[in-house]
Amino acid sequence: MLTCSLEELGVMSSRITKTCLAALLTVGSAILGSSTALSAEAQWLIDFEQAKALAKKEGKDLLMDFTGSDWCGFCIQLDKNVFSKEIFAEKIPEKFILLKIDDRRDKSKQSEAEKKMVRELTKKYGISGFPTILLCDAEGRPYASFVGYGGTPAEKYVGDLLAKQKVREKRDALLAKAEAASGAEKAKLLDEVLQMVDEDLRLSVYGDLVDQIIAADAQNEAGLKEKYVTMRRDADFEKKLEEVIGGLTAAEQVPEAITKLKGMVEAAEKEGVSPDARQKGLFMIAQLQFSTDKAASKATLQEALKMAPEGPLAGQIKMVLERFFSEKKPADQGNDGSNR
C-alpha cells in the first residue's frame, strides 16, 4: 500500500495525516497526469441518499470511493488499474452500488449539493488519506476499508473486495445475537462487532452500539463500560488537542499553544484520560518545540515514551529520538581495525 508514513516529527498521529498525504499524493499526481476515465459499464453515483436508496431496493451494499480525481496520484492509479478494468465492471456492480466522493481541486463542474456531500461524508467517516474505499451496508455503515493503493492487480483487488462481504455477514450475525441477549452477554457481543470496525469509526458511525454497550454493562461486570467511557473521553481530549493545533496561524502563537497544551495534558490525567491519549498530547507539544528548542523537544518525547511505553506512538517516538537526537558517533571507516 502506498500512503504517507508517520516517519517525521511533524506528523503527530493518525488523525492528522492529511497534510502529509496531500503533499505526497500531489507529487504523484504531477507524475501520473490527469485522471483516467472510468469504464462506462461501471456506473458511479454522486448522491449518497440516492445510492443508499438503490442499495436497499436492489439488496446490495455500498462501495464508497473517497478520491481526489484531479490531484491524487494513487487515486488515479487505482482508477486506471482497477476501476476501469472489465473484471471490476463485470463483478463489483453485481454486489455493490458505487458511490464516488470526489474531493477535487477543480470544483467548477460539481454542483453545490455534491460539494456539500463530499465535505459532510469526509468528516463523518474521518477520512484523512486518499484513496480510501469503504464497504458499507445499505444504511451507510462501514464494515471494511481499503486505504491507499500500491499497484494491486485488478483481479486480486476485486477478489479482496468480494471477500470482505463475509465481514458484514459475520457482523450481522453478531448483531442478531446481541438483539436477543442482555447484560454483560449483550455487551460482549456488541464489543465483538466493534472490534471488526476501524477504531476511528467506532464512535462516529457506531455510536449507538457504544451507548448500548455502556447501558448493558452498567455495573462494568465485563469491563466494557469503563473501556468505552474511556474511549469517548480520549476522543474528546484528542479533538480538543487538534483544535489547538488547527487554530495556529502564525509562529508567534506557538509559545501560547505549547503552554495551553501542557495544561490540557496535566488536567487530562486527573480527568481519567488514558496514557495513550495523553502521549499524543505530549507528541504534539514536542512537534511545536522542535524548531526552537530541541532540548525541550527531546525531554518531552522522553516523557511521552515513559508515559506509555507500549502506546500507539511509542514506535514513532523511538524512531524520532534515534533519528534526531541520537548521541551515537559515526562508526569508524575501514574494516581492518586500524584508526584512520
Structurally, what CATH architecture does the domain formed by 14-163 represent?
Answer: 3-Layer(aba) Sandwich (3.40)
The amino acid at residue 194 is L
pLDDT in tens, 155-191: 999 999 999 999 999 999 999 999 999 999 999 999 9
Q: Tell if the pTM clears 0.85, that is, is over it.
A: no
- pLDDT in the model for residue 200: 75
What is the residue-averaged pLDDT of the chain?
Answer: 86
Ramachandran region, residue 183 (left: φ > 0; alpha: ψ -120 to 50; beta: rest)? left
- pLDDT in the model for residue 29: 39
The amino acid at residue 339 is N
In DSSP terms, which residues pair with 98 in a beta bridge?
44, 63
Half-sphere exposure at residue 191, Cβ-oriented, CA atoms within 13 angstroms: 20
pLDDT in tens, 3-60: 433 333 333 333 333 333 343 333 343 333 333 333 345 799 999 999 999 999 999 9
pLDDT in tens, 199-236: 778 888 899 999 999 999 999 999 999 999 999 999 99
The answer to whether 12 touches 198, Cβ cutoff 8 Å, is no
Q: Domain limits of the chain?
A: 14-163, 168-222, 233-325
Neighbours of 161 (CB within 10 A): 21
The answer to whether 229 touches 268, Cβ cutoff 8 Å, is no
| Helix ranges restricted to H, 97-144 | 112-124
